[in-house]
């Protein structure tokens, strides 16, 4: 249990360039929300020696000091031994952190300690996980894409996106995709997109909605192309602890999104209450957001 009342973010560090990018994003998040940063280095049990542990301790302590000195942040460093994903999620739970920020390699096949594990981690973590590949280009996220597959589960990210938008002054880009030109399906999808955009508008959140119909695209290709076109700085998807990503994507699609996107991807953990009930248009309140950095509760008027 963390010994302070402020929020916290956990950053797995393997001393690679990608973990440096993760520290950069975590620092920006910590400055905005007043978070405490925990830097975590994991030594596989088979590689653990006194010399390895001592070298890692010195290197991690230096990173923590530099991060603290340059940004005026509270930074704690931790050395753990064990399996990577298990150790990250256990540490996140023990420290009760609000986010995990992890760096991922641009090129698939790289084998940094933490850089090749983002998909497994977002499917295992019980807190939101931000996967990044580049340094943070600016403070905050101002152009957020949320893909909607028109299922009830997919709408669970709506509350979280609204909260991020309100804090950062961001525009929400709701994106839907169909691979078949079916008139009935198009009408249904447009109706749900309208429903979602109405929620944002009622909460004074700038929003646009786009529906792409293209049989030549897969969902990952459509989403990433759209995010690039609108110059998004964050993509939000939904994950479920202990399972595959419960999203529009098959596990393969989800992995492709995380593998190919150079835009940061925030994977949030769903709450059963965070659903727009399509069967009851008059009951549009969305309750108990999991991500609540401001301690606010957004409800339609």
| Residue 294 pLDDT exceeds 50 | no
- Do residues 13 and 19 touch, judged by C-beta distance below 8 A? yes
Determine the average pLDDT of the residues in 192-220: 90
pLDDT, one tens digit per residue, over 240-275 is 555 444 444 444 567 778 888 999 999 877 654 444
Task: Give residue 22's pLDDT.
Answer: 94
pTM (two decimals): 0.82
| Residue 282 pLDDT exceeds 80 | no
From the number of C-beta atoms within 10 Å of its C-beta (0-12, 13-18, 19+), residue 198 rates as middle
Angle, vertex CA 235, rays to CA 113 and CA 244, nearest 5: 60
Q: Domains along the chain?
A: 8-132 (3.40.50.620), 143-236 (3.40.50.620)
| Residue 52 pLDDT exceeds 80 | no
Dihedral angle, C-alpha 170, 288, 146, 198, nearest 10 °: -80
Task: Give residue 152's pLDDT.
Answer: 56
Determine the average pLDDT of the residues in 6-34: 91
Enumerate residues 6+ apart whose C-beta is below 8 A from 115.
14, 16, 18, 19, 103, 104, 105
Nearest to 118 by CA among 15, 249, 213, 254: 254
Q: In Å, how far from its chain's centre is CA 108?
A: 19
Least confident segment among 124-133, 220-229, 280-289: 280-289
| pLDDT grade for 153, boundaries at 50, 70 and 90 | low
């Amino acid at each position: 249990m963390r010994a302070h009342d402020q929020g916290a973010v956990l950053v797995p560090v393997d001393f690679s360039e990608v973990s440096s990018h993760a520290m950069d994003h975590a620092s920006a998040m910590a400055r905005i929300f007043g978070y405490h940063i925990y830097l975590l280095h994991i030594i596989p049990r088979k590689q653990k020696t006194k010399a390895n542990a001592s070298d890692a301790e010195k290197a991690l302590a230096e990173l923590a000091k530099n991060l603290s000195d340059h940004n005026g942040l509270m930074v704690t460093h931790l050395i753990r031994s064990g399996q990577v994903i298990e150790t990250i999620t256990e540490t996140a739970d023990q420290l009760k952190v609000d986010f995990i920020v992890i760096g991922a390699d641009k090129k698939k096949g790289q084998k940094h300690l933490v850089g090749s594990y983002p998909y497994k981690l977002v499917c295992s973590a019980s807190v939101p996980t931000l996967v990044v590949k580049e340094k943070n280009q600016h403070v905050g996220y101002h152009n957020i894409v949320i893909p909607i597959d028109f299922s009830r589960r997919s709408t669970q990210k709506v509350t979280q996106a609204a909260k991020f938008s309100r804090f950062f002054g961001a525009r929400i880009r709701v994106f839907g995709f169909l691979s078949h030109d079916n008139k009935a399906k198009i009408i249904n999808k447009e109706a749900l997109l309208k429903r979602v955009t109405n929620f944002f508008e009622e909460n004074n959140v700038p929003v646009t909605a786009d529906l792409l119909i293209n049989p030549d695209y897969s969902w990952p290709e459509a989403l990433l192309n759209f995010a690039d076109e609108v110059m998004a700085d964050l993509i939000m998807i939904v994950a479920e602890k202990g399972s595959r990503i419960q999203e529009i994507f098959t596990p393969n699609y989800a992995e492709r999104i995380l593998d190919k996107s150079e835009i940061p991807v925030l994977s949030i953990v769903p709450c059963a209450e965070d659903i727009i009930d399509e069967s009851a248009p008059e009951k549009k309140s969305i309750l108990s957001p999991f991500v609540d950095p401001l301690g606010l509760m957004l409800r339609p008027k």
